[in-house]
Amino acid sequence: MISDPSARTAEASKVDWKSDRVNTLRDNDTTTPDAAALRTAMVEQLRSEGELRTDPVIRAFATVPRELFAPEAPLEQVYDRDDVVITKRDENGLAVSSVSAPRIQASMLEQAEVRPGMRVLEIGSGGYNAALIAELVGPDGEVTTVDIDQFVVDRARACLAEAGYDRVRVLLVDAEGGVPEHAPFDRIIVTAGAWDIPPAWIDQLAPDGVLVVPLRMRGLTRSVAFVREQGRLVSRGYELCGFVPIQGSGANAERLVLLHGEDVALRLDGDQAADADALSAALTSERVVRPSGVEVGGFEPFDELDLYLATELDGFGLLVATPAAIEAGLAERSARMGAKTALDGVSFAYRASQATTKERTAFEFVVYGHGPDADAVAFRYVELIREWDRTHRGGPGARIEVHPTGTPDTEIGEGRLIDKKHTRVLISWPTSS
């Protein structure tokens, strides 16, 4: 069965934080050689992978005992560069709070460029990231971390005190309204997946401040560093990331359109329409296969292509399928994590890849089309892959602008315009000079 982001059915795992905490902390004591050695190894790996780049952030990661903020997990997991430690699930088993993967936290703090003496607001609390920020701002700075969940607030406050960072201000707040009593902030760092940027975050940001937010755009999330420019926010860089969705009045779930029971579905963002019956019929019709002729190396990232496709395609979603559906031939393996899909009425096409070397060190993008207009939709998809390869591959990436809602189209440039509750997000693709 496919996991719906808005409704999970698995039994929730419960964490009795207060009763288990003392014994677990003793087991994972920061003074043990294992913790220190693993911390050092994690820092070195983050440096070698380019996620840690500057001396202040490197020192913060080398200093803060991450295990004190994730005592539920074994040390090997705590210090795994890619591992997320889930700290709370809801009644349906959906993760609602976590200690994010170190590589994501490192990338976001590098994006934020936090300096000594700054006032920083963190939205979405876990404790560890706030401790890292406290190291960066130093004794003359100020860190406020907020969360909507009392359990998370209590847990973060206890962890921070145990680790010696009790000067961090921890508040129970629905962050849609920000924290006006402690504004303005030199940096606002959001550590939960956001569909929109509420006015309070912009209003409470210092004139020369930076907002770092995991922003969901047409189903794809990027950690974007925004600065002010002529009455709007403009990106100065972004990174691939994934986060637990924001809760409270800013929540906005994706929709799940079932195409084959609960085994194959489309995840749609925003108000895109989809004819479930027609697309379900298309799924089991004879498919069209179109190779693109565009290859990537086995370790070459291509998340820029995904964002480009989301920008260029009028109908865009993610095709997801269970292992059983993939084994039965209903979808390709790319649907395990969400295949990037072009939607066109009663037809759709999505991307997969095929190895072009025996050693599987290079892959060619292949497009699979379904439905009465499958050939045309697949052809359009392939042409976009080729256009990205010719014009944008290895280029400067996208420019992301955030305009206030109500801004006339005439005052917004060319590109993919995404209307949200509070803002109008524009994504454009400058070319290299």
Q: Which of 199, 231, 250 finishes a domain? A: 250
Q: Which residues pair with 413 in a beta bridge?
A: none
Residues 170 and 304 in one domain: no
Mean pLDDT of 406-431: 96
Same domain for 44 and 64? yes
- What average pLDDT does the chain have? 90
Residue 395, Ramachandran bin (φ over 0: left; ψ between -120 and 50: alpha; else beta): beta
Beta strands in 44-94 (DSSP E): 85-89
User: Which one, of 163, 166, 162, 164, lies nearest residue 143 by Cα?
Assistant: 166
Helix axes 128-137 and 55-63, enclosed angle (nearest 10): 130
pLDDT digits (tens, 9 = 90+) for 90-107: 776 766 677 889 999 999
Contacting residues for 358 by C-beta, under 8 A, at least 6 apart: none
Q: Give a yes or no: residue 372 inside a domain.
A: yes
Q: Is the pLDDT of residue 188 over 50?
A: yes
Give tens-digit pLDDT for 334-353. 999 999 999 999 999 999 99
For the chain, what is the domain count? 3
For residue 12, being part of any structural domain is answered with no
Q: Report yes or no on 11 lying in a domain.
A: no
Are residues 266 and 226 both part of a single domain? no
What is the distance between the alpha carbons of residues 209 and 191, in angstroms, rounded to a whole number? Answer: 17
Q: Based on the domain organization, do 278 and 331 belong to the same domain?
A: yes
Domain range enclosing 51: 17-250
Q: Return the active site residues.
A: 100
**Same domain assignment for residues 293 and 196:** no
Asked whether residue 101 falls in the same domain as residue 149, the answer is yes
Residue 5 domain flag: no
- Give the whole-angstrom CA distance, residue 89 versus residue 407: 39
Rounded Cα gap, residues 115 and 112, in angstroms = 9
When mean pLDDT is compared across 252-256, 276-280, 381-385, the lowest value belongs to 252-256
Domain contains 259: yes
Residue 9 lies in a domain: no
Q: Which residues contact 409 (CB under 8 A, 6 or more apart)?
A: 417
CATH number at residue 93: 3.40.50.150
How confident is residue 283, by pLDDT bands cut at 50, 70 and 90? very high
Q: Are residues 233 and 277 in the same domain?
A: no
Residue 234 and residue 142 share a domain:
yes
- The last residue of one of the domains, among 198, 220, 250, is 250
Please indicate, yes or no, if residue 318 is contained in any of the structural domains.
yes
pLDDT in tens, 356-408: 998 889 999 999 999 999 999 999 999 999 999 999 999 999 999 999 999 99
pLDDT, tens only, 6-26: 333 222 333 333 333 333 443
Residues 87 and 154 in one domain: yes
* Domain boundary pick from 228, 250, 272: 250
The predicted pLDDT at position 431 comes to 85
H helical segments located in 80-208: 102-112, 128-137, 150-162, 199-203
* Predicted pLDDT at 370: 98
Same-domain check for residues 173 and 267: no
pLDDT value of residue 433: 55
**Exposure pattern of 396-425 as b/e (b: 16+ CB <10 Å)?**
ebbbbbbbeeebeeeebeebbbbebebbbb
- The 3-state DSSP class for residue 408 equals coil
Regarding whether 332 and 196 lie in a shared domain, the answer is: no
169 has a pLDDT exceeding 50: yes
Does a structural domain hold residue 314? yes
In sign, the C-alpha dihedral spanning 65, 68, 72, 75 is positive
264 and 206 in a single domain? The answer is no
